[in-house]
Amino acid sequence: MSNTSVIPTNDFEKIILERRSIKSYNPDVIISREEMEDMLKKATRAPSSTNMQPWHFLIIQSAESKAKLLEVASPTNHVKLETASAAIAIFGDLHYTTRAEEIYSTNVELGYVTEEMKERQLAAVLQWNSPKTEEQRRDIVMTDCGLVAMQLMLVARSHGYDTNPINGYDKTRINEAFGLDKKRYAPVMLLALGKAADEGFPTMRLSPDKIAQWL
């Protein structure tokens, strides 16, 4: 099916205020690899601690891979994951410093920093990150991956799609299901992403006086 019913928007208020977690999607809408990569490029403009970009995405679209995912997903989440054009599993890469050299060298290639600045920055980044315990690294990747997940949800809306963030799955089994090293990749959340087939439910938000302190 062509995606003519998918209407992109740049209306920021509409993107954030009308976002709802969507429970079912039009299963006939196919999102191309090109468009998915475009959305990922935009989503990964999200900030991350020392720009380590410690995220890893599984873009699950084939029937075979979806079946694997459903085995570890709570039954309450099956319909959204089955009907979504893409079910996305987001993991935090606990070995994120292995990418430091590539990230900081690319800054030199792009002319953002000199070779000398890069060497200084890279040394500082490694000095900051290397002594971190696994618990501290988990904390860092969970924060960074939460930011990229939110950005992906908003980017999806700008492309005319909707999403549902999902924690209802077995995080102790998902690595094994997809052959990902448990010690390296920490499960963060799933996202169902596709063309909405329902309107979701209205939900309230606590007012600023309940959730903020002015000091």
Tell me if 196 contacts ligand FMN by CB under 6 A: no
Residue 50 vs 164, nearer CB to ligand FMN: 164
- Binding flag, residue 168, ligand FMN (CB under 6 A): yes
The dihedrals phi and psi of 117, each to the nearest 5 degrees, come to -65, -40
Decide: is 172 part of the binding site for ligand FMN (CB under 6 A): no
Rounded Cα gap, residues 175 and 193, in angstroms: 21
Among 155, 189, 193, 197, contact with ligand FMN (rule: CB under 6 A): 189
Size of the site for ligand FMN (CB under 6 A): 11
20 binds ligand FMN (CB under 6 A): yes
Q: Contact with ligand FMN (CB under 6 A): which of 32, 167, 172, 173?
A: 167
Rounded CA separation 178/72 (Å): 11
Q: Which is nearer to ligand FMN, 125 or 196 (CB)?
A: 196
Nearer to ligand FMN, 31 or 73 (CB): 73
- CA nearest to 122, candidates 105, 147, 136, 110: 105
State which of positions 76-135 bind ligand FMN (CB under 6 A): 77
Tell me the residue number closest to ligand FMN, measured at CB. Answer: 168
How far is the C-alpha of 213 from the C-alpha of 42, rounded, in Å?
A: 33
- The span of 34-42, 84-92, 129-137, 161-169 binding ligand FMN (CB under 6 A) equals 161-169
Does 163 sit near ligand FMN (CB under 6 A)? no
Query: In the bound complex, what is the minimum distance in angstroms from residue 5's beta carbon to ligand FMN?
Result: 21
Distance in angstroms (rounded) separating the CA atoms of residues 145 and 189: 9
**Which of 4, 10, 62, 203: binder of ligand FMN (CB under 6 A)?**
203
Report long-range pairs for 94-99 (Cβ below 8 Å, ≥24 apart): 94/54, 94/134, 94/137, 94/138, 94/141, 94/183, 94/184, 94/185, 94/186, 95/184, 96/52, 96/53, 96/54, 96/129, 96/137, 96/140, 96/141, 97/52, 97/125, 97/126, 97/129, 97/130, 99/52, 99/53
Q: Which residues bind ligand FMN (CB under 6 A)?
A: 20-21, 77, 164-168, 189, 200, 203
